Amino acid sequence: MPELSAAEFWVGPRVTLALFGGVYNNYLALDVLLRDTYRRGAAGVYFLGDVGGFGPHPARSVERLRESAVRCMAGNYDVSVGNALADCGCGYTDPRDNHYAQISYDYTLDGTTEEHRRWLAALPTRITMMVGKHRVLLVHGSPRRINEFLWESTTPAAYIHHLCELYQVDLIVNTHTGIAFERRLADGRGLINVGAIGRPANNGRLTVEYVLLHLEDGQLHSERVALEYDHARLAAEMEGEGLPPEFVATIRTGWWTTCLEILPTRERRQGRF
């Protein structure tokens, strides 16, 4: 079991924390998120990684995160960009997916300054915290692997139980797949995947999602929040930057058009392609 970073503590009769992942260069959604979490009284805001990829103007998202009070973690994308690796390490299997992934990775790496890369490379890859009496572990993919996909239809209760036991936590919060879900065990422990704010969740909607975690009377419960942002502007800027039309279509329609081979059968069937 890898060593855990210093714990953070949240106490009080009522605490609200905001958790989000996958900015994917969508600085417009990030702006909306920062206002929304403030308006909803989030005492802490946590970003679970993957600043880059997919969208336009990589520096804008990094700058916003650095200037904000958001507690940031590294995703596989940030480890790759931070260390100027050859690819994003997303773990795609289809050559066509890797082709598109490489276009946005090269674009992101190109638009990231050395100072930004140093900042990305220094981000933690896990955070443990106490929220009331609950021990919560934040990771990007899974506690085992930064780029492990935990989808709803392929992450059974038995596996979540195993992870909670192994890492001695009550709740695991992750992202990386881009589709949010929550699975609780009978004893109240569980896993929350917060989805991504960078692109819609392959559901035909143009909004993006994050999660609020409420501590109330000692109990933890979550709330999923849909964010509206200026998707038309994002799509136009992506076109202006010469990013793949397939990516732009996802922003305009809410359906994923690439990187579909990694989707489990259930999640794939819920999409259009």
Partner 1 sequence: MAAPLLPFLHLDSLWLQVTGSRCNIACRHCFISCGPKVDRHAMMTRAQVQVAISDAERLGCRAYYYTGGEPFLHPEILDLIDDGLASGPLHILTNGMLITREIAAELAHRSAAADYSLDLRVSLDGLSAAANDPIRGEGVFEATTTGIRRLVEAGIEPSLALTLVDPAGASPEGRTAMLGFLRALGVERPRLKLIPPFRIGREAARSGRYGPEARLAAEDLDDEAPWQLGCGTSRMVTANGVYTCPILIDYPSARLGDGLAKALVPIPLAYRACFTCWEEGFSCRS
> Residue 273's beta-bridge partner residues?
none
Q: Which stretch binds partner 1 (CB under 8 A): 66-74, 82-90, 203-211, 263-271?
A: 263-271
Using the minimum distance from each CB to Fe ion, give the nearer residue, 75 or 200.
75
265 binds partner 1 (CB under 8 A): yes
Cα Rg for the chain, rounded, in angstroms? Answer: 17
75 binds Fe ion (CB under 5 A): yes
176 binds Fe ion (CB under 5 A): yes
Query: What H or E segment, with its residue span, contains residue 128?
Result: strand 126-131
63 phi-psi bin (left φ>0, alpha ψ -120 to 50, beta other):
alpha
Per partner kind, with CB cut-offs from 5 to 8 A, the member of Fe ion, partner 1, none near residue 264 is partner 1
To 5 degrees, how large is the angle CA 231–CA 268–CA 222? 65
153 binds partner 1 (CB under 8 A): yes
14 binds partner 1 (CB under 8 A): no
Chain residues 43-72 in contact with Fe ion, contact rule CB under 5 A: 50
273 binds partner 1 (CB under 8 A): yes
Per-residue tokens: 197: 């704010």
Per-residue tokens: 271: 């999409």
Using the minimum distance from each CB to Fe ion, give the nearer residue, 53 or 56.
53
Helix (H, G, I), strand (E, B) or coil at 160: helix
Integer Cα distance of 251 and 87 in angstroms: 23
Query: What H or E segment, with its residue span, contains residue 249?
Result: helix 245-253
Q: Which stretch binds partner 1 (CB under 8 A): 14-22, 105-113, 156-164, 248-256?
A: 156-164
Mask for 232-261, x = binds partner 1 (CB under 8 A):
----------------------------xx
Angle between helices 58-67 and 27-39 (to 10 degrees): 20
Which CA distances in Å does 160 have to 44, 73, 150, 166? 25, 22, 10, 10
268 binds partner 1 (CB under 8 A): yes
Per-residue tokens: 205: 């909607």
Using the minimum distance from each CB to partner 1, give the nearer residue, 59 or 260.
260
**Among positions 8, 63, 87, 161, the unique one binding partner 1 when judged by CB under 8 A:** 161
Per partner kind, with CB cut-offs from 5 to 8 A, the member of partner 1, Fe ion, none near residue 39 is none
**Among positions 2, 12, 95, 218, the unique one binding partner 1 when judged by CB under 8 A:** 95
Integer Cα distance of 33 and 201 in angstroms: 16
Token pair 């999640």 in the structure block, residue = 267
Using the minimum distance from each CB to partner 1, give the nearer residue, 171 or 238.
171
Report the residue closest to Fe ion, judged by CB.
176
Per-residue tokens: 166: 């192994």
Interface residues toward Fe ion, by CB under 5 A: 50, 75-76, 176
Interface residues toward partner 1, by CB under 8 A: 95, 144-145, 153-156, 158-159, 161-163, 165-166, 260-261, 264-269, 273
